[in-house]
């Protein structure tokens, strides 16, 4: 894994919203590996770098807003010649309950506009995903308000626990052992 992109929306009004679960994940990765984000206009977002076993890994938080996430992912991936198979995208997922983290290799966008834009800009869906459950409000007309309002305290705690579980298997993901990481993560979390 050479690029970990966390999806979310920039700005203080979105900080505590479940749609920013991907940002929360890469913030924790940066903390764990002592990486510091800095704004990079050419990559349309905040970027940090750390090394594991002599391999550089980039972290990215697009500042393009969710629906244009592909612009940032494409810019960084193209500049550093990172293939899709070496990209992990961390994002919120309505289809999983809060507290659930799932790794996935490829697949469709499942209605997620950030993934939709990445697939469009990258010309394919061969990247890995870390799906962080935020739960569904039960009514499709309430989805936008659900993902863009501040997460309930118990949901935020559950999402943070899922992020912690994902961090424990991140070394395997970085080393390219996605199946091993999936087995560990999917066994430990609900």
Rounded to 5°, the CA angle 44-49-54 comes to 145
- Tell me 19's DSSP state: G
Q: Are strands 55-62 and 87-93 parallel, antiparallel or unpaired?
A: unpaired
CB of 70 within 8 A of CB of 117?
Answer: yes
Place of tokens 């999806």: 7
> Could you confirm whether 19 is annotated as catalytic?
yes
Q: What Cα–Cα distance (Å) separates residue 89 from each residue in 13, 19, 61, 154?
A: 23, 13, 10, 24
Q: Give the three-state DSSP class for 107.
A: coil
Q: Which of 19, 44, 91, 112 is catalytic?
A: 19
Q: Which two tokens stand for residue 180?
A: 């091993």
Torsion of Cα atoms, 70 then 124 then 59 then 163, to 10°: 100
Q: Catalytic residue positions? A: 19
């Amino acid at each position: 894994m050479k690029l970990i992109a966390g999806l979310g929306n920039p700005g203080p009004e979105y900080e505590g919203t479940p749609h920013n679960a991907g940002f929360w994940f890469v913030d924790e990765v940066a903390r764990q590996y002592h990486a510091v984000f800095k704004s990079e206009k050419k990559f349309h977002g905040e970027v940090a770098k750390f090394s594991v076993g002599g391999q550089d890994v980039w972290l990215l938080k697009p500042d393009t807003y969710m629906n244009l996430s592909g612009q940032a992912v494409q810019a960084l991936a193209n500049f550093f010649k990172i293939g899709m198979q070496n990209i992990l995208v961390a994002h919120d997922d309505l289809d999983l309950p809060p507290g659930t983290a799932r790794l996935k290799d490829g697949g469709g966008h499942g209605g997620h506009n950030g993934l939709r834009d990445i697939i469009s800009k990258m010309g394919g869906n061969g990247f890995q995903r870390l799906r962080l459950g935020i739960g569904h409000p039960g009514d499709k007309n309430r989805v936008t308000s659900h993902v863009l309002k501040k997460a309930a305290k118990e949901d935020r705690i559950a999402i943070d626990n899922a992020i912690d579980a994902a961090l424990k298997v991140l070394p395997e993901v970085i080393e390219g052992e996605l199946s091993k990481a999936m087995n560990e993560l999917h066994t430990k979390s609900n």
